[in-house]
Chain A
Amino acid sequence: MSSFAWQPGETKARELSKTMNPTTQAGVSASIGTGPHIDVNRVSKSFRPSGANGRGDDARSVVALQDTSFEVGRGEFVSVVGPSGCGKTTLLRMIAGLSSVDAGHIFVDSKRISGPGPDRAVVFQHASLLPWASVVDNIAFGLRLRKIPKSERTTKACELAALVGLSGFESHLPGQLSGGMQQRVGLARALAVDPQILLLDEPFGALDEITRRLMQDELLRIWSGTGLTSVLITHSVDEAILLSDRILVMSGRPGRVIEEVPVTMRRPRERGMERTPEFVDLREHVWELLSGQPAAQAND
């Protein structure tokens, strides 16, 4: 069904990494010298659900995040796990600049953020590709917004298509691709704009188990070639352990970080690691933290 011809892509990844961010040692601590890449500082966010039904204003106000703080170092891969409705997605959207912060600040490279920026790119859960545009046009979308000339952006988009294993599908429409393939396009689109930070909002949540595992392998491969600072939101503890350097475990409403769990398994990661005692212990630990949490209320 989907194409997994990524052997040629392997080489592409290495070539591309030269034009993108220099590969860094994935480290647990904040990066060398310049302070954390992302600094989330005592952030809070509340929602008043829209579609008013005439009742009192704050009675139905929902506190999504309360006094949340953490840091992400340069080149680090961090996962955020937590029960439904704990504010994970809200957090990501705020780092992306798609939602505003009610209290506290978010700094990227010591600068306060105030909206989407060229340094951050998002991969969405539902790929959200433009349905009328081909794979290549979708990948090149961010470049088009920056008025990069067509020939240049098409070349780059084709390279990225190869990187994510979609060679031969350049002219296809999203409607002609499977879910997994659409997610690859979404990933390629995010990589196309040479971001400093990659934000992934449950990118594999809508996929079936088999595709999901293959996509995790893909992400590992691609990430190891680029070493981008990454924040991944996921429901899957196993996925978090497999992919990241550190896991932030969040609580239910109001959302807070309960604990930061470092993952010190060696890189590059492999599937076999899922059976190691270290992996099993981590999984147990994270589940313990999660199962102490109440689930979200109905109005998510």
Chain B
Amino acid sequence: MTETATRRTTPAPPATGGRRRWISALGEFVRTDVLATIVGLVAAALAWQLIALAAGASWLPTFDTIARRIGDLLDDGKFRSELVHSVLSMLIGFALAVVVGVAVGMAMGMSTLARYAFSIYVDVLLFIPPVVVTPVFFAIFGLSNSAVLAVIFIFAAPIIAATTKAALMNIDRDIVDAASSFGASRWQLARLVVFRAALPMIFTGLHLGIGRAVKGMIIGQLIIAVVGIGAYEARFEQAFDSAGLWSIAVLVVVVAVVFSWGVQFADRVVNAWAYVGRRQ
């Protein structure tokens, strides 16, 4: 289901030229994954409408009610700014997680000492539910945006670090050997060969990380509930405003899906070489 576009390992029919490669990789992605998701969402909306009409429960408003509510919310300037604010926080937190996560992961992948020093902590962070750390950040940063950023960071960074480390340890040693036989210095090796070879798997980590970053944003904002759309959630909840709550849920789903697509887009642009050709 998620394996629609396979990465190539066997010969395929003749290629298009270099620049057009990522265009065709993107095109295939849009045609398969993106379209399927959109169709799925539309079908879900229809199904929802039917179920809601049948059930008639106060906590399950009909889809058109929700759709209208979303429209109203998006019209509201204040809500719009809070939404934008939340999304930006998430991106900043994610960017931080990427920078730190990839750096630590690369250190662990390339240096045994770094691996000994850090991997136990990365593993622990992967084991525990990141949400436990939320009270800690609340205590350090107070009721503020920085606290939410910290939560987003701690949700996303460990998986990115772990995947990056695995990516570096799993690259094809033969290629590194071949490159060094031509006299590549350690720096040239790292820059031209090692990093490039690890990129596809690093991007897998980024994909996992963006999902976690969105979770971190929501959970962080729910718990530290004065900023962003978390605040709106709290207000709607107190007012038993189901339509409002569902509206936010739908918007969050849309944000999550769009960002997931964003990472996958970037993956196909950067690593187009791994997606060239028809899928099996």
Contacts and interface: CB of A to CB of B under 8 A. Distances in A.
Q: Do chains A and B touch in the complex (CB under 8 A)?
A: yes
B129 interface: no
Contacts of A91: none
A175 B18 contact: no
A128 interface: yes
Interface string B176-194: 0111111110001000110
B175 interface: yes
Interface stretch (B8-16, B33-41, B119-127, B234-242): B8-16
B177 A98 contact: yes
A96 interface: yes
Interface in B192-213: 192-193, 196-197
B188 A173 contact: no
B183 A132 contact: no
Interface string B266-280: 000001011011000
B182 A131 contact: no
Contacts of A142: 182-183
A146 B178 CA distance: 15
Contacts of B273: 131-132, 173, 175
Contacts of B197: 130-132
Contact of B277 (A120, A141, A176): A176
B174 interface: yes
A116 B183 contact: yes
B14 A176 contact: yes
A129 B273 CA distance: 13
B178 A124 contact: yes
Contacts of B18: 134, 171
Contacts of A193: 182
Contact of A126 (B174, B182, B277): B174
Contacts of B174: 124, 126, 128
Most A CB within 10 A of own CB, among B18, B271, B274, B276:
B18
Contacts of A98: 177, 180-181
A176 B177 contact: no
Interface string A100-122: 00000000000000001110111
Interface in A165-207: 169, 171-173, 175-178, 189, 193
B72 interface: no
A128 B178 contact: yes
- Identify the interface centre among B15, B183, B271: most chain A CB within 10 Å of its CB: B183
A175 B12 CA distance: 7
A32 interface: no
Given A98-B177, A124-B178, A177 B193 contact: no
Interface residues of A, number: 32
B271 A132 contact: yes
A145 interface: yes
B183 A128 contact: no
B172 interface: yes
B77 interface: no
Given A124-B177, A175-B12, A176-B11, A116 B276 contact: no
Nearest to B188: A145
Contacts of B14: 169, 172, 176
A117 B182 CA distance: 7
B17 interface: yes
A169 B271 CA distance: 20
A132 B193 CA distance: 10
Contacts of B193: 130
A254 to B, nearest CB: 24
Nearest to A168: B14
Contacts of A117: 183
A124 B8 CA distance: 22
B193 to A, nearest CB: 7
B8 A128 contact: no
Contacts of B10: 175
Given A124-B174, A126-B174, A116 B12 contact: no
Given A128-B172, A132-B271, A171 B180 contact: no
B12 A176 contact: yes
Contact of A130 (B21, B175, B274): B175
A171 B18 CA distance: 6
A145 B187 CA distance: 11
Nearest to A1: B11
B11 A175 contact: yes
A276 B266 CA distance: 61
For the complex of A and B, the 4 pairs showing the least CB-CB separation, nearest first, are: A128-B178, A142-B182, A132-B273, A128-B174
Interface of A: 96-98, 116-118, 120-122, 124, 126, 128-132, 134, 141-142, 144-146, 169, 171-173, 175-178, 189, 193
7 contacts: A96-B181, A116-B183, A128-B174, A141-B182, A173-B15, A176-B14, A189-B182
Given A124-B177, A128-B175, A130-B197, 18 more contacts: A98-B177, A98-B180, A116-B181, A120-B181, A128-B172, A128-B174, A128-B177, A132-B197, A132-B273, A144-B192, A145-B179, A145-B182, A145-B192, A173-B21, A173-B273, A175-B9, A176-B15, A193-B182
